Amino acid sequence: MTSLESRQRKHILYTWTAQNQASPVAIAGGDGVWFDDQNGERWLDLESQVFNCNAGHGQSAIVEAIREQAAELACAHPAAVFETKAALGESLARITPGDLNRFFLCLSGSEANENAYKMARLLTGRQKVIARRRSYHGSSMGALSLTGDTRRWPLEPGLWGVLRTEDPYCYRCPLGASPKSCGTRCTDHLEHVIEMEGPENIAALFLEGVTGSNGGFIPPDNYWPKVREICDKHGILLISDEVFSGFGRTGKWFAVDHWDVVPDMITMAKGVTGGYAPLGVVAIRESLAERFDDETLWCGLTGYAHPIACAAANAAISVYEDQGLMENATQMGVHLTAGLQELKRRYPIIGDVRNLGLFGTIEFVKDRKSREPLTPYGTNGDPDSFLGRLRAALKARRVHIAQKWTHLFIAPPTCINQSEIELAISLIDESIAEALAGGSS
């Protein structure tokens, strides 16, 4: 352990881990899809610093905007009027679909979901909400209660009234369908839950645009339009959590843009500032937000619309536009898909690969026929397992990447180029081969 790491470890806690199991990289700076560690070694960032640094490292326009804002105005009352804040509203209104033209600003994805949840209850007067079983919506108690996955378990009971519906996880359909026979099985299940719980009691349905850390589930094309129809029928607000899937991750501003669906709210964070400052946003339809013109919006925080976060978001949105990063993510996604398909062709330990834009997933299995996951749900594999050896092999090649449970996620910054995609695939290829052979020789 370096002296810097031991100094840090003495006082600062690591998240989501037993402290003695953390194995962090000491990051010094970066450029594009690369970052340097404190020893001057370059790492290929296939995780974008927790799916966050979507515009890439070292984007000088964002850094400069933060610097200018800090020099001009760095501290303001949540209700204060200033140029960068007004401009952020205009930028967000330009990129959000339909009439999602009013915005609530906070500090994280968790807070965005908390506030969307509160607004849904205030607007509908209903108390229950629905979220999917394999989902993540954040770490604060409300957002964690919405979360379907194992991160919720240690802190139960959470909020009352969160109902579960099944995921469009077509490779491993929880309702026993196959993509060919499926039709609308998971949206039928949603209708069933609504009927059994009473539509008049249900305020909102929370869905990730494309499921993120639970496994990169890309829904069938009829899924989002059907869900919109069901919510309209029952007066249930449809909320797309785009904290992970927004800002170019899938090649669009928001994943729902792939299916031309306008949700009632979109929650966002991470890539909205390219990860250069903390910011969460709830985008809400004009027609819904109008209610708060005369009624109190019982939501707020001291760090609301922080000037530095507003400046970072304005600059990040301009960078995505000026550098054509949505288009690049779509084009590079074609190469990523091809690379992933080739890996699947070569390695039977890969059961499925999926990709949309620059959000690729490799799903490992014990056996292709049974589709049994390599590790039980919620576990990552011991250091001496295939997955442990794979982690070590990737680390040895200075590939920064997320492996969670039986999945490996490939989610680089949207400024990646074709040769970097090819390099990423070849380093993953070498690492899988080494892990299969039993580890480094």
Ligand X SMILES: Cc1ncc(COP(=O)(O)O)c(C=O)c1O
Q: Which residues bind ligand X (CB under 6 A)?
A: 108-110, 113, 136-139, 208, 212-213, 241, 243-244, 269
Closest to ligand X by CB, 66 or 106 = 106
Closest to ligand X by CB, 219 or 339 = 219
Q: Least Å distance between CB 144 and ligand X?
A: 10
Closest to ligand X by CB, 43 or 136 = 136
Residue nearest ligand X by beta-carbon distance: 109
Q: Least Å distance between CB 206 and ligand X?
A: 9
Closest to ligand X by CB, 244 or 254 = 244
Closest to ligand X by CB, 304 or 386 = 304
According to DSSP, the residues that pair with 131 across neighbouring strands are: 164, 206
Cα–Cα distance measured from residue 402 to residue 47, given in angstroms and rounded to the nearest whole number: 6
Closest to ligand X by CB, 281 or 311 = 281
Q: Least Å distance between CB 212 and ligand X?
A: 4
Closest to ligand X by CB, 109 or 168 = 109
Q: Least Å distance between CB 218 and ligand X?
A: 14
Longest dimension (CA), the chain: 69
Cα–Cα distance measured from residue 148 to residue 207, given in angstroms and rounded to the nearest whole number: 11
What distances in angstroms separate CA 188 from CA 147, 182, 221, one per listed residue? 21, 10, 15
Q: Least Å distance between CB 356 and ligand X?
A: 15
Q: Least Å distance between CB 142 and ligand X?
A: 11
Q: Least Å distance between CB 189 and ligand X?
A: 21
Question: Angle formed by the axes of helices 418-436 and 386-396, to 10°?
Answer: 140
Closest to ligand X by CB, 166 or 241 = 241
Closest to ligand X by CB, 239 or 350 = 239
Give me the count of residues in the chain: 441
Closest to ligand X by CB, 48 or 328 = 48
- Output the six-digit token pair for 354: 């999926």
Cα–Cα distance measured from residue 174 to residue 162, given in angstroms and rounded to the nearest whole number: 19
Q: Least Å distance between CB 305 and ligand X?
A: 17
Q: Least Å distance between CB 185 and ligand X?
A: 23
Q: What angle do CA 288, 289, 290 make, to 5 degrees?
A: 90
Q: Least Å distance between CB 41 and ligand X?
A: 27
Cα–Cα distance measured from residue 241 to residue 148, given in angstroms and rounded to the nearest whole number: 13
Closest to ligand X by CB, 281 or 390 = 281
Q: Least Å distance between CB 108 and ligand X?
A: 4
Where do we find the tokens 């129809």?
A: 229
